[in-house]
Structure 1
Amino acid sequence: MAAIREAIAAAARTVVLPAGAGKLTCYGYTPDSVPAPCFFAGEFTLEFDKAMRRALDEAELTCRVLVGRADDVSAQRTLDALLAGSGPASLKTTIEAARGEPGQPALGGLCDDFHVTRVQGYRWYEHQGTQYVGAELIIRIIGDGRS
């Protein structure tokens, strides 16, 4: 999962933020400190043996995007753009671009496929004592359990 999380963070780095929003810092792990705006891959669940002989495992990865709150309105506008279903700032569009062509393994062969399935938890988050407006993106990942 570490390589998959890093590859998803690398895909997220290519997002184009709205003017004046800065640059999105992305991590494949939960960082100690968060330079806003920030995207990181957090916890995951992993279900083994979804097909016989370890032919398929399925994971659900929770990623977070946190935006500074110097200005509540502009922070939420930036977050809204990141959570949109399409557009240059859409994390869904940007991350899913790393799926590859139909029939090809995703993330350069790290998994069979993945899909950003939902956004949840749009709210204020505290990370290391600092408040951020943020949300979670849930990514469903499938792949061969034998590798």
Structure 2
Amino acid sequence: MRKMLLPIDSENVPEKVLTYLKDFVPCMEYEVTLLNVISSDRIRMNKEADGVYDIKPLDLETPSNEMLTSFEETLKSEGINSVVTMIKAGEPSETIVEIAESGDFHVILMCTHGMGAAKRLLIGSVTNKVVHHSSVPVIVIRE
């Protein structure tokens, strides 16, 4: 079975992604891995808060786990039954590329967030970095 990596960072996965998955995954027999990367900056910020926001990595994982479980249920209700969920901590683009390459994935499916050229130049985007650094093919869906 072929493997597709789908990094998601919010509960609001665009309808275009769901439509693409419904059309593409069954005919190609893909296992879909839903990945949420908890930014290492969020973990560091919580550690440096000196007890004011005493949030542990597990506390950050709970909302991620709920989000992934919800989307997994949505996919299964649409007939996409081979779904795996994964939560990792790190710099998002680097972590996505590392997981894709070390996990023998065949394709990465990502969304843009409509970021303009000027904003992308200043801060970069996770999708842009993954496209330019991954040896695994990336399918980008414009949001």
Normalised TM-score (structure 1): 0.29
- The structure that is helix-richer by fraction is 2
- Higher RCO structure (Cα 8 Å, ≥6 apart): 2
- The structure that is strand-richer by fraction is 1
Normalised TM-score (structure 2): 0.30
